[in-house]
């Protein structure tokens, strides 16, 4: 007798799975954006910023993978996203960090959307899973705001001196 492996019934709500798959795309886009920022910094020998953005790129990829695995573990179907429209051109280091903050705010709003969806359909497992991301986003936004404060405090200083005051990771 031939046995056919059948996936157990999904524990993740299909609507939550859909918004989480969108979130995977957003996290991977953020990762690609941070790689572009790291490259810009690397070309200008801004070593702390380069290291910071390489680490951020890896962290965003890890976030995407965490969601990807959660969807599959919950019986859903995670989707590998296409990443388009990554900006590789920047005018200044400050602009890069300003864009980073905007990106983190957008990711936060998207996480909230996922959280609200999970709550609205009583998908308690997904809601609990997403709590980690809610907390993580508070930290991410705070980091970017703190870095932008350094730019304000050191206004008029050479870019290399500012970069030396920024976190490597």
Output the 3-class SS for 30-82.
HHHHHHHHHHHHHHCCCHHHHHHHHHHHHHHHHHHHHHHHHHHHCCCCCCCCC
- Looking at residue 3, its pLDDT comes to 34
- Looking at residue 159, its pLDDT comes to 82
- Looking at residue 112, its pLDDT comes to 98
Q: Is the pLDDT of residue 110 over 70?
A: yes
Looking at residues 5-22, what average pLDDT do you find? 82
User: Sorting pLDDT into bands at 50, 70 and 90, what band is 8?
Assistant: low
Q: Residue 30: name the closest of 137, 130, 116 by CA.
A: 137
- Looking at residue 162, its pLDDT comes to 86
Token pair recorded at residue 16: 């939550």
Angle between helices 47-73 and 14-43 (to 10 degrees): 160
Q: What is the mean pLDDT of the chain?
A: 92
- Looking at residue 1, its pLDDT comes to 38
Coil/strand/helix, residue 99: helix
User: Sorting pLDDT into bands at 50, 70 and 90, what band is 156?
Assistant: confident
Looking at residues 12-40, what average pLDDT do you find? 97
Q: Contact at 8 Å (CB) between 53 and 35?
A: yes
Look-up of token digits 């524990």: 11
């Amino acid at each position: 007798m031939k046995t056919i492996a059948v996936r157990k019934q999904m524990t993740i709500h299909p609507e939550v799975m859909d918004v989480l798959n969108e979130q995977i795309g957003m996290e991977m886009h953020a990762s690609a954006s941070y790689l572009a920022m790291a490259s810009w910094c690397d070309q200008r020998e801004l070593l702390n910023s380069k290291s910071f953005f390489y680490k951020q790129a890896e962290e965003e990829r890890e976030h995407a993978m965490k969601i990807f695995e959660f969807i599959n573990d919950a019986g859903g179907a995670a989707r590998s996203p296409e990443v388009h429209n990554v900006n590789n051109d920047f005018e200044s280091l400050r602009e890069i960090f300003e864009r980073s903050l905007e990106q983190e705010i957008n990711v936060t709003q998207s996480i909230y959307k996922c959280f609200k969806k999970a709550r609205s359909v009583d998908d308690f497992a997904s809601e609990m899973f997403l709590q980690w991301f809610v907390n993580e986003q508070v930290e991410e936004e705070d980091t970017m705001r703190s870095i932008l404060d350094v730019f304000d405090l050191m206004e008029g200083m050479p870019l290399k001196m500012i970069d030396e005051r920024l976190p490597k990771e």
